[in-house]
């Protein structure tokens, strides 16, 4: 069996992404978790590249690996995380039930998605090839989807006003 | 694509948008005089209500099928705007009392209203998501507005974390629906026969529905409701439990009913039974009035689900009638609580929210006593008040679509609710207040009285003339 380079890369990237995700949630040291998360983001952006979504891949690196991770590390630095060990050893029935239900949901969804795609509808995706290109994205955002872009503008304004109210406003 | 001549077709949204911008500017120009911002925000809600009447009996798509305007969406819009109007009128007294009378409050509430209207009008899942996020982010801020109260901070953080988590579910659902069908246009879904037999689409739809069930506070996504409703500023709680809930119902209920999946019917019936059971039974053991009203709002979400589960075209009308009644009684009850409550001496906790504090309230202030009793009796579903007819139409729809067992359980559980509503009334009318309570003054100004009278009038008139109001909704389904 001859494997295409794309397939090999996809397997490598996704295996690494799953591995780092598992490592991230099992580490006791929060800084180690954060570093695994960074690697995870990098692997996911590799998968985006394979799917010809260059723009999203770049955004993933810039925003998630750059901006958001710095925020994470700041929070870790500012918070006192000494009690973390106690939390993870505290296994209750609620947690066991939650884990069982999550596994059931995962199983159900993977089975459905594996067998469930209907060929009849999937031909509607004409733009799937273009979706990651910055040019196509920009064109769509400022023509077809100009209204949502405006609404997102209001959303950001409201969020900024809210942040100012919660953090800056002087209270009596 | 935005075309200028289409703007008039989304007049309610446009007026709220202009309202937000003007309020922002006026807050900067006349920051000291809060009356300008206050009256401007009320005017923009009134203008938006007028705008909905301009659009009646039109069925059209706006901005290249991104938004859809028809009579069902307009009916939900009117109910939401009524709720926000009552909230705004009553806000001033409460905000001044709690010393958080900022112009930003009105801007954020108006932004959340914009989000709700967009959710209702949306014909594209993208707009639904943006609208929901706009509404939620504004709510997170409003909940945490009483920054010095520990409970307010706690509830804001709790609501934010859970809300962000549930947004993930919603977004994943949307992406599965898009992956299965290749479009996010809601109007296209209803034209595709057998779409609900596609498993991936169905899973996406379930995850999408979960996002809205969370916002409605339905079992098993109800755990945030009591804590958040208790910690939020009372007037904000009133708005969240009416307008926010109605926006979620108005987005998801018509969609589910139009799909009419048989499995969904059973599932929603079971969920609604559990919701009513949880809300009504846990409320029995509560001692804080705000928590009781929170649990009763969980129970109300259960009654609404009874209507959704019947999957009948007629059900939308029943849900609309119940929601219209619900706005008046639930918001009215919360306004009474907000008028009566006060901060504790060190301003870090709420005060006057327990059963014992309501002893003899009716003797000290008969008007508040009468209003609160009527709202509570209406919530319990005592004829001839609005709440009775709301439940009547919902259960009637359920019986009509062969869910007799469900309506019997719903009626029995709403009998349970009578106990905790009547207990408050007994405390108010038949108990003597303590000496300490007699000395505290009840601060209610002219404006909050107006909004109480409006809510009272709504509850009573809806109750005595249900036919007239029910036929008002005839324009939705003929």
pLDDT digits (tens, 9 = 90+) for B157-209: 999 999 999 999 999 999 888 888 778 888 888 777 777 777 888 888 889 99
Output A146 or A170, whichever has higher pLDDT: A146
Q: Which residues of B touch A144 (CB under 8 A)?
A: 1, 64
Percent pLDDT > 70 in chain B is 97
pLDDT at A88: 56
User: Which residues, at least 6 apart from B265, have a Cβ–Cβ distance to it below 8 Å?
Assistant: B309, B310, B311, B403
Which of B152, B203, B221 best probes binding to A when mutated, by most A CB atoms within 10 angstroms?
B203
pLDDT at B1: 67
Quick check: B181 and A121 CB within 8 A? yes
Question: By mean pLDDT, which of A149-153, B59-63, B355-359, B387-391 is the weakest?
Answer: B355-359
Q: Say yes or no: A94 contacts chain B, CB-CB below 8 A.
A: no
Quick check: A118 and B192 CB within 8 A? no
pLDDT at B152: 87
Is the pLDDT assigned to residue B444 strictly greater than 80?
no
Quick check: A147 and B67 CB within 8 A? yes
Quick check: A158 and B108 CB within 8 A? yes
- Residue B1 has its nearest CB partner, among A122, A143, A169, at A143
Position B119 confidence tier, pLDDT thresholds 50, 70, 90 = very high
Output B48 or A27, whichever has higher pLDDT: B48
Angle at B204 between CA B199 and CA B209, to 5 degrees: 125
For the stretch A123-132, contacts whose Cβ atoms lie closer than 8 Å and that sit 24 or more positions apart, written own/partner, are A123/B182, A124/B181, A124/B182, A124/B183, A125/B182, A129/A52, A131/A53, A132/A48, A132/A51, A132/A52, A132/A53, A132/A54, A132/A55, A132/A56, A132/A57
Global pTM reads: 0.89
Nearest to B387 by CA among B326, B330, B327: B326
C-alpha pair distances (Å), A165 with each of B16, B21, B141, B346: 21, 17, 8, 21
- ipTM confidence: 0.87
| Domain residue spans of chain B | 1-248, 260-478
Quick check: A121 and B131 CB within 8 A? no
pLDDT at B286: 86
- For the segment(s) A1-81, the CATH number from 1.20.120.1200, 1.25.40.10, 3.40.50.720, 3.10.180.10 is 1.20.120.1200
Output B229 or A27, whichever has higher pLDDT: B229
What mean pLDDT value characterizes chain B? Answer: 87
d(CA B343, CA B433): 19
Position A89 confidence tier, pLDDT thresholds 50, 70, 90 = low
- Residue B183 has its nearest CB partner, among A113, A124, A151, at A124
d(CA A141, CA B235): 38
Percent pLDDT > 90 in chain A is 20
């Amino acid at each position: 069996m001859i494997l295409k380079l794309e397939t090999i890369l996809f397997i490598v990237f996704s295996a690494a992404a799953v591995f780092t995700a598992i490592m991230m949630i099992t580490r006791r040291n929060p800084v180690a978790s954060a570093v695994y998360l960074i690697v995870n983001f990098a692997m996911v952006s590799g998968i985006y590249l394979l799917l010809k979504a260059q723009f999203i891949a770049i955004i993933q690196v810039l925003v998630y690996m750059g901006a958001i991770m710095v925020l994470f590390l700041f929070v870790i630095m500012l918070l006192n995380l000494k009690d973390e060990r106690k939390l993870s050893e505290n296994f209750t029935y609620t947690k066991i039930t939650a884990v069982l239900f999550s596994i059931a949901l995962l199983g159900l969804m993977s089975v459905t998605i594996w067998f469930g795609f209907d060929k009849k509808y999937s031909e509607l995706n004409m733009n799937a090839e273009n979706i990651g290109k910055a040019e196509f994205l920009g064109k769509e955002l400022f023509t077809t989807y100009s209204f949502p872009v405006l609404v997102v503008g209001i959303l950001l304004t409201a969020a900024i006003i809210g942040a100012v109210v919660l953090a800056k406003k002087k209270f009596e | 694509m935005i075309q200028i001549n289409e703007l008039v077709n989304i007049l309610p949204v446009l007026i709220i948008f202009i309202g937000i911008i003007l309020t922002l500017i006026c807050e900067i120009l006349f920051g000291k005089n809060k009356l300008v911002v206050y009256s401007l925000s009320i005017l923009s809600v009134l203008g938006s209500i007028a705008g909905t009447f301009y659009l009646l009996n039109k069925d059209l798509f706006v901005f290249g099928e991104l938004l859809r305007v028809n009579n069902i969406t307009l009916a939900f819009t009117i109910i939401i705007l009524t709720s926000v109007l009552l909230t705004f009128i009553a806000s001033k007294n409460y905000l001044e009392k709690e010393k958080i009378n900022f112009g930003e409050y009105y801007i954020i509430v108006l932004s959340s209203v914009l989000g709700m209207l967009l959710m209702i009008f949306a014909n594209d899942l993208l707009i639904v998501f943006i609208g929901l996020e706009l509404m939620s982010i504004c709510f997170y801020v409003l909940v945490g507005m009483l920054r010095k109260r520990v409970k307010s901070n706690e509830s804001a953080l709790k609501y934010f974390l859970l809300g962000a988590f549930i947004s993930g579910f919603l977004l994943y659902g949307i992406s599965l629906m898009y992956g299965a069908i290749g479009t996010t246009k809601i109007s296209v879904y209803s034209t595709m026969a057998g779409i609900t037999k596609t498993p991936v689409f169905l899973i996406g739809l379930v995850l999408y529905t979960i996002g809205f069930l969370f916002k409605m506070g339905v079992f098993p996504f109800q755990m945030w409701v009591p804590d958040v409703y208790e910690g939020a500023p009372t007037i904000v709680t009133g708005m969240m439990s009416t307008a926010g809930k109605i926006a979620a119902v108005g987005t998801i209920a018509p969609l589910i009913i139009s799909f009419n999946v048989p499995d969904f019917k059973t599932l929603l019936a079971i969920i609604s039974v559990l919701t009513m059971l949880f809300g009504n039974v846990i409320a029995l053991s509560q001692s804080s009035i705000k928590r009781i009203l929170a649990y009763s709002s969980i129970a109300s979400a259960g009654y609404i689900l009874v209507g959704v589960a019947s999957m009948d075209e007629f059900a939308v009308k029943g849900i609309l009638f119940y929601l219209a009644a619900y706005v008046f009684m639930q918001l009215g009850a919360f306004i009474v609580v907000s008028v009566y409550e006060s901060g504790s001496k060190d301003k870090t906790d709420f005060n006057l929210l327990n059963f014992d504090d309501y002893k003899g309230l009716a003797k000290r202030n008969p008007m508040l006593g009468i209003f609160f009793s009527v709202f509570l009796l209406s919530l319990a579903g005592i004829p001839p008040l609005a709440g009775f007819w709301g439940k009547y139409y919902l259960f009637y729809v359920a019986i009509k679509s062969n869910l007799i067992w469900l309506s019997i359980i719903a009626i029995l559980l709403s009998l349970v609710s009578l106990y905790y509503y009547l207990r408050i009334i007994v405390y108010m009318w038949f108990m003597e207040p303590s000496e300490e309570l007699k000395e505290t003054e009840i601060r209610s100004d002219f404006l909050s009285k107006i909004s109480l009278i409006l809510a009272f009038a709504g509850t009573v008139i809806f109750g005595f003339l249900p036919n007239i109001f029910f036929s008002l909704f005839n324009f939705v389904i003929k």
